[in-house]
């Protein structure tokens, strides 16, 4: 991009990428982060696809679930993520929930549960609801700039519409715009950042948040069971006021996808992250020394481990490095929900995962997400600060 004037990061971050694209502007130098664009050109050996896990089989009794638990554990040890496909959450009469997946429906297990007194009340994440989230996200970003600016964040703030705060010197900027919102606990919501338009945005996001709460309970329990731990152990570490934060990402088209990333390579500082993609691929996970594209499956959610699950599992589950590519042809939307232990709560490796064969590799940490952020801004991982 020789000849393009070098604007400072602060000025660029006060502008929206979407508007730069509408104005026909090329990416400035500060957005250029890739010099590895030849990696896609090298044919890579075929790899296993990101595992698809059927949670219905994990919330059911032995022996039905043993194989799926094993698949979940392997997915999280080797990939650090898995896809949840066509999942329906059915709220039980009491406090627990069963999940039923349409295409790998485990009839004997479900019948067993039903006769144990589980009653469905229709709390399902149907594909039509996932489409609704995508629709309100798209409708929000496609509004005129003035409307979105009503919910704008300051350059150095986190919450609201805009971009990440200014990174450390030498770090590149992401070719994306975001709307970042604290969604749970409810008393942490700052409604001035919640869009009033499209009209259904708030209601849909409230509903999605409730689904995410149910899902995090299920996933946390399933992960514990897959490691032969007490089902509630991770939930107890996350705490009752564990946070859910939603980040709506809008990746505009880019004239130089060979040089510019939608989101730079990073690992998440959350416990784990639940990602809803649209039909445009772009998310890549670094595995076995190469980047692997996460397929976009319209009725699937991608569950990606963050550093704090790696700590809680004493390094057994991996928090994968991932990034988002840009495309010159299509814009892309995703919604990432970060599930993070409650503020001020100490977390650490589960005792059941520390033994002679597997000595403790991480110590207890508190408010790790803040430390993670400082390193993230320097383009570094933070996990070493938790090492013993």
Ligand X SMILES: O=C(O)CCC(=O)C(=O)O
Q: How many CA atoms lie within 13 A of 136 on its CB side?
A: 23
Residue that is written with structure tokens 């649209």 in the block? 278
Residue that is written with structure tokens 């996990």 in the block? 383
Smallest distance from the beta carbon of 324 to Fe ion, in angstroms? 8
Rg (CA), the chain: 21
| 136 vs 227 by CB, closer to ligand X | 136
- Which does residue 223 bind out of Fe ion, ligand X, none, counting CB within 5 to 8 angstroms by kind? none
Cα separation of the two ends of the chain: 44
Under a CB-based contact definition with an 8 Å cutoff, are residues 243 and 338 in contact?
A: yes
* Token pair of 95 as six digits: 């406090």
Site string for ligand X, 121-160 (x = CB under 6 A): ----------------------------------------
- Which does residue 324 bind out of Fe ion, ligand X, none, counting CB within 5 to 8 angstroms by kind? ligand X
The enclosing H or E element of 303 equals: strand 300-305
- 177 touching ligand X, by CB under 6 A: no
- 268 touching Fe ion, by CB under 5 A: yes
- Secondary structure letter of residue 358 according to DSSP: S
| 268 vs 350 by CB, closer to ligand X | 268
Phi-psi bin for 379: left (phi > 0), alpha (psi -120 to 50), beta? left
- What is the footprint of ligand X within residues 226-285 (CB under 6 A)? 247, 249, 263, 268, 275, 277, 283
Smallest distance from the beta carbon of 268 to ligand X, in angstroms? 5
| 268 vs 350 by CB, closer to Fe ion | 268
Smallest distance from the beta carbon of 322 to Fe ion, in angstroms? 6
Under a CB-based contact definition with an 8 Å cutoff, are residues 293 and 53 in contact?
A: no
Residue nearest Fe ion by beta-carbon distance: 268
- Which does residue 247 bind out of Fe ion, ligand X, none, counting CB within 5 to 8 angstroms by kind? ligand X
Smallest distance from the beta carbon of 251 to ligand X, in angstroms? 7
CA distance 263 to 305: 17
- 322 touching ligand X, by CB under 6 A: yes
Instruction: Tell me what percent of the chain is helix, strand and coil, each rounded to the nearest 5.
Output: 30, 20, 45
- 301 touching ligand X, by CB under 6 A: no
- 57 touching ligand X, by CB under 6 A: no
Smallest distance from the beta carbon of 249 to ligand X, in angstroms? 5
| 229 vs 382 by CB, closer to ligand X | 382
**Nearest Cα residue to 386 out of 313, 322, 337, 289:** 313
- The three-state secondary structure class of 208 is helix
Query: How far does Cα 46 stand from its chain's mean position?
Result: 25
| 246 vs 386 by CB, closer to ligand X | 246
Residue nearest ligand X by beta-carbon distance: 334
**Which residues of this protein are in contact with Fe ion, per CB under 5 A?**
268
**Which residues of this protein are in contact with ligand X, per CB under 6 A?**
247, 249, 263, 268, 275, 277, 283, 322, 324, 334, 336
């Amino acid at each position: 991009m020789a000849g393009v004037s070098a604007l400072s990061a602060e000025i660029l971050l006060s502008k929206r990428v979407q508007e730069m694209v509408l104005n026909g502007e090329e990416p400035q130098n500060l957005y250029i982060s890739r010099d590895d664009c030849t990696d896609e050109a090298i044919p890579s050996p075929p790899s296993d696809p990101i595992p698809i896990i059927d949670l219905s089989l994990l919330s059911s009794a032995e022996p039905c679930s043993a194989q799926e638990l094993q698949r979940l554990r392997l997915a999280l040890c080797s990939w650090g993520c898995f896809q949840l496909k066509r999942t329906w959450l059915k709220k039980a009469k009491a406090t627990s929930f069963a999940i039923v997946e349409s295409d790998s429906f485990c009839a004997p297990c479900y019948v067993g549960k039903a006769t144990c007194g589980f009653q469905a009340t229709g709390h399902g994440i149907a594909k039509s609801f996932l489409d609704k989230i995508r629709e309100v996200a798209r409708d929000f970003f496609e509004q005129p700039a003035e409307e979105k600016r009503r919910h704008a964040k300051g350059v150095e703030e986190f919450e609201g519409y805009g971009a990440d705060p200014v990174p450390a010197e030498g770090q590149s900027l992401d070719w994306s715009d975001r709307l970042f919102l604290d969604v749970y606990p409810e008393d942490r919501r700052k409604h001035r950042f919640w869009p009033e338009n499209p009209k259904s945005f708030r209601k849909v996001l409230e509903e999605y948040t409730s689904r995410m709460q149910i899902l995090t309970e299920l996933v946390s329990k399933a992960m514990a069971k897959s490691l032969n731990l007490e089902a509630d152990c991770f939930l107890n570490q996350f705490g009752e006021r564990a946070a859910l934060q939603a980040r709506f990402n809008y990746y505009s088209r880019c004239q130089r996808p060979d040089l510019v990333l939608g989101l730079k390579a990073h690992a998440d500082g959350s416990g784990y992250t639940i990602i809803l993609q649209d039909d445009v691929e772009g998310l890549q996970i670094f595995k076995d020394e190469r980047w692997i594209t996460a397929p976009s499956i319209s009725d699937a959610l991608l569950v990606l481990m963050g550093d704090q699950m790696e700590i809680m599992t004493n390094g057994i589950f991996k928090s994968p490095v991932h990034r988002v590519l840009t495309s010159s042809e299509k814009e892309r939307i995703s919604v990432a929900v970060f599930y993070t232990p409650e503020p001020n709560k100490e977390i650490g490796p589960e005792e059941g995962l520390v033994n002679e064969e597997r000595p403790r590799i991480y110590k207890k940490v508190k408010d790790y997400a803040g430390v993670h952020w400082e390193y993230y801004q320097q383009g570094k991982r933070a996990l070493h600060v938790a090492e013993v």
